[in-house]
Copies of this chain bind each other. A is one copy, B any other.
Amino acid sequence: MSLVVVGSIAFDAIKTPFGERKRALGGAAVHFALAASYFGDVRMVGPVGDDFGDEEYAVLHSRGINTDDVEHVEGGKTFFYACEYEWNLNVRHSLDTQLNVFGDFQPKLSEASKNSELLFLANIQPDLQREVREQCKGARLAALDSMNFWIESARESLVKTIGSVDILFMNDEEVRMLTEQPTLMGGAKALMEMGPRVIVAKQGEYGAALFTEQGFFALPAYPLESVIDPTGAGDSFAGGFLGYLDSEGGTIDDATLRRAMTYGCATASFWVEEFGCERVATLTREEIDERYQDFLHMTSIEGIRAG
């Protein structure tokens, strides 16, 4: 198959109790594409400014990512985001958001991107997401991520956009916020009524839950003694998930989706071990596969021998 992601490309200033970075390569499309690259080819669509150069492209190209549709806006600056995490890494404070070239982003997709069979609409303005979805006539499957900001400021458009995709990724708190259902199960049902066949609720340090017509599946996050920086965890999870689906020909039966969930969680578990996407420098597919195997053991109720 073929996979394309449309979303933000950014420089992030990140501070956690374990260190900081003033200018880390980031953005949803970057984290997603790098994660998906462990499973197959991926194309990336998003805008950058003059400050985005060889060093950044080298990271992307080292993983074989196609950057033909990365749009260089002359005289512009790349999207910049600064945040600080508390000692409880679940709590993040946004310090600065400079949209720069991302503020005027009008996605322009090449024919190759339009004809990708699997499309991931990372978190951007829902009208734009819908426009991209309509352009990608060739996409057999489309998946979407969004955030609380759009639920609050563009709810109607977001609901319409959700109706145009097959797979929806969303934080569990955002499911609650959007659907106004007190339980996640109730929220997932409400979301499925909007259109998508597959709802993936991201639960941060608690892992992720999958809702389909066939039922429910959930995975804990991989247990790590040390987490350095949660930035990019959600997008790398989606990248591992959809990268795996793409490698399986885009099948979305329950069994394939469960394995996709597991590859997503395995991939994301490496992301948080270093700042931004720095872990990619040494990460191998073999390591991801090892954690996949660990998940088989960690989640088995009756499959293991008495110790």
Measured between alpha carbons, how far is A261 from B307 in the docked complex, in Å? 16
Evaluate contact between A182 and B17: CB separation under 8 angstroms.
Answer: yes
A-B contact pairs, 23 of them (CB 8 A): A17-B182, A87-B182, A183-B223, A183-B224, A184-B205, A185-B224, A185-B225, A186-B225, A189-B225, A206-B206, A206-B207, A207-B218, A216-B223, A217-B298, A219-B301, A251-B306, A255-B302, A255-B304, A255-B305, A295-B301, A296-B302, A299-B301, A303-B303
Q: Does A203 sit within 8 A of B, measured CB to CB?
A: yes
- Which listed residue (B225, B298, B307) contacts A218, Cβ 8 A? B298
Chain B, residue nearest A218 (CB):
B220
* Residues in chain B near residue A182, CB distance under 8 A: 17, 87-89, 227
Give Cα A211–Cα B282 distance, bound, in whole angstroms: 29
Quick one: which of A178-225 are within 8 Å of B by CB? 182-186, 189, 203, 205-207, 209, 214-220, 223-225
With contacts A88-B182, A182-B17 known, is A258 near B302, CB below 8 A? yes
Residues in chain B near residue A217, CB distance under 8 A: 298-299
Residues of B close to A259: CB separation below 8 A: 301-302
